[in-house]
Structure 1
């Protein structure tokens, strides 16, 4: 199914498939290609509207009768770590941050395989080979870094995060870590360090992907202070996570044509936004 705009980009809808987050549900995504000279501006604009990047594609959930998946981001200026976060930061004091170009290495892939085999052996990425891993890391038309975290004493790789640099924040595309270090809460630590990194770069947000109330896999994101979610076209403070409705309903989402019409595209001819018609001196990341 295709919905064509008189200007680039064009938006498409995936066929329904099993939802990876909520049992007995079907997911569907609205997506567009990310390529050419417009890629940076498009990634910046659509990320603010709840889209996520995967290689050279931007996508957003567009399920027929479910609106549980909500894009989430941390307001860096308002973030105050909890006591548990301070403990996690102290536990990982021996790690060093090492930003690199978006280039895959055998060492990264070995860690990635250990992570998948231990934690996500039945997931959608379980069969990803080294070439597919390299594509995930390297096929990016926007400003992207691979942030490595290493043990300062042994120089062993402990965690990796593929991170996009947006005009208003850092977007965590995908992260993985050594499964034997699970007690160190490295997933949470990577997010905490990205908040610190965003502060260094004077960027207001850290984008975490989707928060899915009712999903054990994604529920942890609600534990971060100063979290806001994208609801009905607006960013709002998450408030009380337990109050979000995860029930299916046939009117959960607008028709695809209406969703596309409501997307604001960057005007590459000037500074104004365009509705999509349908009928610092030292860069801490360098």
Structure 2
């Protein structure tokens, strides 16, 4: 008898400056996702804290730091706060479409504006059109790009104000990367809305989790993930409940 797929080969990157914590260095362990069983492998690795980037699955492997923690929202138990209810109500007129993973210039221009507003000088700031196309289109798994548009005018599609590259895994939705109009005067909280929309989508599909990536202790950029509880983190004994705000305190 033969195994359903060959055990993957793992590699480790060289240390690089950490994008989240000053003075720290990051190192990643990664493997390639390819072949007919790429989805099954991605699902299995996702349950042990790996994330996907194009055709690669990776996770932090920093010998002197364990600040990065894989987190996921428990979909059926999520209850929006008063502020979150107002964000849902404010954006309920948006037209949301799950599109094939195909890049467009409209998406790319929105990404450029988002990076300039929220992450100037960051690691993605030099991304060109081809880099963006690779990010979206190079996927060996079940992937969509979810578009968020303002209401259409007649037959003309509304303005694109948000997007999220999303994988559907066996036990949940994995939010690979989201971006939006961070300067939209009439729609503050768009990033929060996109996460809540994914929670509602997962609930409608009968999926128990939304994977939010890594929560990083001490990083203000990652603090927003605490708002979408109950949250589970990946620990040595498996996935366990935790309160990010209590840990940070």
Please classify the TM superposition score into its range, dividing by the shorter chain length: over 0.9
Contiguous gaps of at least 5 residues in structure 1: 1-6, 246-286
- Partners in 2 of 1:150 and 1:99 — Cα distance? 12
Report the more deviating stretch, 50-59 or 147-156: 147-156
For 2:14, the equivalent position in structure 1 comes to 15
- Partners in 2 of 1:77 and 1:62 — Cα distance? 31
TM-score of the pair, normalised by structure 1: 0.81
The alpha carbon displacement at 1:240 in A equals: 5.2
Contiguous gaps of at least 5 residues in structure 2: 1-5
The alpha carbon displacement at 1:94 in A equals: 2.2
- Partners in 2 of 1:145 and 1:153 — Cα distance? 21
The alpha carbon displacement at 1:184 in A equals: 1.6
Number of matched pairs: 240
SS in 1 for 2:221: coil
The alpha carbon displacement at 1:233 in A equals: 5.0
The alpha carbon displacement at 1:231 in A equals: 1.6
- Partners in 2 of 1:233 and 1:45 — Cα distance? 16
> Structure 2 matches for 1:196-211, cutoff 5 A?
196-211=200-215
The alpha carbon displacement at 1:47 in A equals: 0.3
> Does residue 1:238 correspond to 2:242, yes or no?
yes
- Partners in 1 of 2:81 and 2:106 — Cα distance? 33
SS in 2 for 1:181: coil
Measured at CA, do residues 244 and 230 of structure 1 come closer, stay the same or move farther in structure 2, by a change above 3 Å? farther
> Does residue 1:122 correspond to 2:125, yes or no?
no
> Does residue 1:107 correspond to 2:106, yes or no?
yes
The alpha carbon displacement at 1:87 in A equals: 1.2
SS in 1 for 2:240: strand
1:21, 1:215 within 8 Å by CA — same for their partners in 2? yes
Structure 1, residues 72-124: CA drift from partner, whole Å, max 9, x if none? 10111111111111011112122111110000011111111111122212100
> Does residue 1:174 correspond to 2:177, yes or no?
yes
For 2:25, the equivalent position in structure 1 comes to 26
SS in 2 for 1:184: coil
The alpha carbon displacement at 1:132 in A equals: 0.5
Q: Show structure 1 runs of 4+ deviating over 2 A.
A: 239-245
The partner residue of 1:218 within 193, 218, 222 is: 222
1:213, 1:241 within 8 Å by CA — same for their partners in 2? no
For 2:3, the equivalent position in structure 1 comes to none
2:15, 2:27 within 8 Å by CA — same for their partners in 1? yes
For 2:75, the equivalent position in structure 1 comes to 76
- Partners in 2 of 1:99 and 1:62 — Cα distance? 33
- Partners in 2 of 1:223 and 1:126 — Cα distance? 27
- Partners in 2 of 1:148 and 1:126 — Cα distance? 21
2:232, 2:240 within 8 Å by CA — same for their partners in 1? yes
Structure 1, residues 166-206: CA drift from partner, whole Å, max 9, x if none? 01100000000012227521111100000010011111100
